[in-house]
Amino acid sequence: MTIAGSPADQAAQDGGFRSAEGVRKVPLRHPWWWVGGALLILIIGMFAQLLVTNRNMDWSTVLEYLFNGEILKGLLRTLELTVLAMVIGLALGILLAVMRLSANPLFRAVSWLWLWFFRGVPPLVQMVFWFNLATLLPKLKLGVPYGPVFASWDTNTVISAFTAAILGLSLTESAYAAEMIRAGIQAVSKGQTEAALSIGMSRFQVMRRVVLPQALRIVVPPIGNDLISMLKFTSLVSVLATPDLLYSAQMIYSRNYKTIPLLLVATIWYLVLTTLLTVAQQQVEKRLKTTHPQTGAMKNVKRLRFLPSFGKA
Amino acid sequence: MVPLLRVEKVNKAFGTNHVLRDVSLDVHAGQVQCVIGPSGSGKSTLLRCVNRLEVPDSGHVYLDGQPMGYRWKGDTLREMTSSQLAVQRRQMGMVFQGFHLFPHRRVIENVIEGPVVVGGVGRATARERAMELLSKVGLADKAEAYPDSLSGGQQQRVAIARSLAMRPKLMLFDEPTSALDPELVGDVLAVMRDLADEGMTMVVVTHEMGFARDVADHVVFMDGGCVVEAGPPGHIFGAPEHERTRSFLARVL
C-alpha cells in the first residue's frame, strides 16, 4: 500500500507511468577522474621539483646564455634556413603538383619519381650527400649538353654547408608540399576552370589566375603545419657544422661543458618560435573558418602575408 | 548567308554512353534558339561541344564559318593550341547552371577579369564598362560584394555580366535557372529577355517552356542524343509532329 497522493500512487493511477517532474537527479560520478588527476599532479610536481632543485639544470647559466650574441646569431640562422627552405620547397611543390596533374605522361612520371625519391630519403641523409657532392661531381658546368661549356665552378665552392642544408630541407619539403597543393588544386571545382576557359583564358591563365589562388588558400593550414615542422628540422644542419641555434649551443657547451643549460637555452628558443608560429597559424585558421569552408575562405586570407601571393603577380 | 554558328553532324560518347548522335544545327546572327528536351537528352553536352569544353568525337562546329579548335593550313586543318582556342572562345560567352563565379574575387573583379586579363583592356575602362553591365543586370550596388554573399539569382546575373564583358557575338546558356529557387528565376529570365530584345544571338538550353515559347525564334527538341524536331515555337508547342515531342510537352506543360 502507498500513501495517497505520493508519486508512486500517482503512477499506479496512470497505469505505470511515473513522471520525472520535480524528482531529485543525481549526476553521474567520476571517481577515476580524481584518482587519475591526483596521479598526474604528483608526476607534474615531481617534474617541477626536478626542474627547480636539480643543480645540473643551472638556471643562472641558462639565463646568462639566453640572450648571448652567439645564440641569437644561431637563432637568426635557424629562421633564415626555415624561411628559405620553405619558400624554395613551396615554389618547387607548386611546379611538381601541376606536373603531377598534367596530361603529359612524362611530366606525371617525373613528378611521381621526384616525390618517391625525396619523400623516401631522410633529409639528414640528403644533407650529408649534398655536402659531399664534390666527390661525385668535382665541377659544376653550365653549357649545352655534350656541347660547349659556358661556365664552370668548383663544386666545393658552390655547395657550402649552408647550400647543402637548404637543398636537403627544401627538396624534402617540395615533395610534401606538392602532395598538399595537388589536393588543393583538385579541391577547386571543375566549374571554375570551365568558367575561366569560357571567358577566353588559356590553360596557363586559368591555372595562374583562378585555380592556384584558390588551391593555395585551401592548403594554408597544412602548410602552416609544415612550417612548424621545418623550423625543428633545421636543427639537423648541426651535423654539417652550420651555426644554427642548436649548433651554436653545442659550440658553447663544448667549450664550457655546461651541456644541459645550453640545451635548455636552445629548447626555450625553439619553444618560443613554435609557440609564435602556432598562434599565427591558429589566427589564420580562425579567419578561414569564419567564412565559407572553401569559397569564402579566400576573402580574408588576401590580407595575410602568410604565403607569398602566387597568382596575384 | 553563312550562319553565325553551325553544328555539323556532331557525335559524342562518354565510354559506351552515346550522348550526341549526328546533331546538326544552324544559328543565324540575331536569332534566339532554345534547346528543350528530357534530362539526359544531350542538350548540355551539345552546348559544351559548341564551346569545345568537350571535344566532339566526330563532326564539326563552325563559328563565323571557321571550324572551332582548328585553323586552315593549306588543305589541312591544324589543331589549335590552348591560347589560339582561347582567342576563338572569346567570341562566345557561356552561362552555367552552377554560376561558377570566382569566389576569391569581388563581383566587379569577376566582371573585369576577362577584359583585363584576356582582352588587354585597361582597368579603368574595364571598370566603367563593368559598372554599366552590372547596372543592366540590376546589381550595380553589389559591385564590391563577394559572390558568396549574393543569392543564386544575383550570382547568375553577375555571371551573365561577366560573359557580356567580353563582348561576345554569341551567348550560350546552359540551364541558367535550373539551380535557382523558383522566386529568383524571373529576374534572370528578365535579363535574358532584355538581351534577346537587344538582338544578341543566343542558344539557350532550358526547362523554362514559357521563356522558350515567348522569346525563342526557333525551338529545338532533343531526345536520346538526337534532334527530333525543330522549328518556330508556334509549331513546336502548337502542332508538334513527333510523338516523342508530344509526350515530352504533355509531361512538362
Facing residue for B104 by CB, picked from A199, A205, A214: A214
Contact state of A198 with B103 under an 8 Å Cβ cutoff? no
- As a whole-number percent, the residues of chain B with pLDDT over 90 amount to 96
Encode pLDDT of B50-104 as tens digits: 999 999 999 999 999 999 999 999 999 999 999 999 999 999 999 999 999 999 8
Low-confidence winner among A121-135, A192-206, B21-35 (lowest mean pLDDT): A121-135
Q: Which three cell numbers stand for residue B49?
A: 561541344
Contact state of B148 with A217 under an 8 Å Cβ cutoff? no
Task: Give the three-class secondary structure for B24.
Answer: strand
Contact state of A291 with B148 under an 8 Å Cβ cutoff? yes
On chain A, the residues whose CB falls within 8 A of the CB of B89 are 197-200
Q: Is A300 on the interface with B (CB under 8 A)?
A: no
Angle at B23 between CA B190 and CA B247, to 5 degrees: 65
- The amino acid sitting at B208 is E
Axis crossing angle, helix B152-164 with helix B123-136, rounded to the nearest 10:
130
Facing residue for A201 by CB, picked from B53, B86, B159: B86
User: What's the gap in Å between the CA of A83 and the closest CA on chain B?
Assistant: 26
Over residues A128-138, the mean pLDDT reads 87
Over residues A139-168, the mean pLDDT reads 86
Task: Confirm if A236 and A124 have CB atoms less than 8 A apart.
Answer: yes
- C-alpha–C-alpha distance, residues A122 and A106, integer Å: 26
Q: Which of A181, A192, A167 lies closest to A100, judged by CA? A: A181
Q: Could you tell me the pLDDT band of residue A254, with boundaries at 50, 70 and 90? A: very high
Over residues B154-163, the mean pLDDT reads 97
Predicted structure pTM score: 0.79
Task: Give the three-class secondary structure for B122.
Answer: coil
Q: Could you tell me the pLDDT band of residue A292, with boundaries at 50, 70 and 90? A: very low
Low-confidence winner among A126-135, A173-182, A193-202, B67-76 (lowest mean pLDDT): A126-135
On chain A, the residues whose CB falls within 8 A of the CB of B159 are 195
Q: Which three cell numbers stand for residue A112?
A: 611521381
Encode pLDDT of A53-83 as tens digits: 888 888 889 999 999 999 999 999 999 999 9
Contact state of A192 with B90 under an 8 Å Cβ cutoff? no
Cα nearest neighbour of A292 on chain B = B148
Low-confidence winner among A282-296, B16-30, B120-134 (lowest mean pLDDT): A282-296
| Cβ-proximal residues to A143 (8 Å cutoff; 6+ apart), any chain | A149, A150, A151
Sheet holding B17-27, edge to edge: B17-27, B5-14, B58-63, B66-67
Sign of the Cα pseudo-torsion (A269, A270, A271, A273, in order): positive
Chain B contacts in chain A segment 192-251 (CB below 8 A): 192, 194-205, 209-210, 213-214, 217
User: What is the average pLDDT value for chain A, to the nearest integer?
Assistant: 86
Cα nearest neighbour of A191 on chain B = B100
